[in-house]
Amino acid sequence: MEPIIKTSNLSIKFGEHKAVDNINFEMSAKHFKSIIGPNGAGKTTFFNLISGELEPTEGDVFFKGLSLRKKSSVERTRLGIGRSFQITNVFPNLTVLENVRLAVQSKRKVRFHMLNHFLKYKEITNEAIGILEQVLLTDKMHQVANQLSHGEKRKLEIGMLLALDTEILLLDEPTAGMSLEEVPAILDVIRSIKERGDKTILLIEHKMDMIIDLSDSIMVLFNGALLADGTPEEIMNNETVQQAYLGGLAYD
């Protein structure tokens, strides 16, 4: 089967520093892959290259065989690559519902409609409310995003991503900075997306139990390079990975 997403020799240099170094990876549709690696391993940069936030100095990303080299982040989203951000990136002064509705509106291609009141598009509002139910934010619907707790903002991020309904979901540390009580809720949301089985998911995370529980495969980045790629068992038993991730190599 043709991989839904593939990178070839993907590299980016910031000055002399190779943040992502010659990564070749591919992934088939409806697969769940996690990316791990110590801080500064280039995980988020790798996401930025896939989603088009950054341009590679070398190499290319392919979506269903189509080169993304000349595609902006907008076009990639429309093709089917959606992402959430590690640092919460929502519309701070809009309500939770409005945040999600903007994503639904984009997916439904209601973009340049100028003369109808936005509430006339009931199906958009209803779908947004449905999404909020999934991410357990219905009761906060009319609050301004600014007033949400950190964990709730993360849920909102995922909600906006779900609303876009893209084939590929790039989740950048969805539980970053969340309190322990908040994590299970996010975990449930991600698990339910996985169980529906229609999405290809790439997840960056640090919480190993969560990764092992969810992932079909894991790839390990280290100093920008691909250190290992395999099933959770393979990765856990890989000595180089243990050294890199659990100490030793990382801080020398």
Contact positions vs other proteins (CB under 8 A): 51, 53, 72-74, 77-78, 83, 89-95, 97-98, 101-103, 105-107, 110-121, 124-125, 141-144, 160, 164
CB nearer to other proteins: pick between 199 and 224 = 199
| CB of 105 or CB of 223, closer to other proteins | 105
| Residue 163 vs 214, nearer CB to other proteins | 163
Instruction: Report the alpha-carbon distance of residue 116 to residue 119 in Å, rounded.
Output: 8
Q: Which is nearer to other proteins, 66 or 74 (CB)?
A: 74
- Here the tokens at position 66 are 């189509």
The least CB distance from residue 243 to other proteins, in Å, is: 36
- The CB-of-117 to other proteins minimum distance in angstroms stands at 5
Compute the least distance from the CB of residue 72 to other proteins, in Å.
Answer: 8
Residue whose CB is less far from other proteins, 35 or 124: 124
Beta carbon of residue 28, minimum distance to other proteins (angstroms, whole number): 24
Q: Which H, E and C letters describe the chain, residue by residue? A: CCCCEEEEEEEEEECCEEEEEEEEEEECCCCEEEEECCCCCCHHHHHHHHHCCCCCCEEEEEECCEECCCCCHHHHHHHCEEECCCCCCCCCCCEHHHHHHHHHHHHCCCCCCCCCCHHHCHHHHHHHHHHHHHCCCHHHCCCEHHHCCHHHHHHHHHHHHHHHCCCEEEEECCCCCCCCCCHHHHHHHHHHHHHHCCCEEEEECCCHHHHHHHCCEEEEEECCEEEEEECHHHHHCCHHHHHHHCCHHHHC
Which is nearer to other proteins, 92 or 247 (by Cβ)? 92
Residue 165: CB minimum distance to other proteins, A: 11
- The CB-of-231 to other proteins minimum distance in angstroms stands at 31
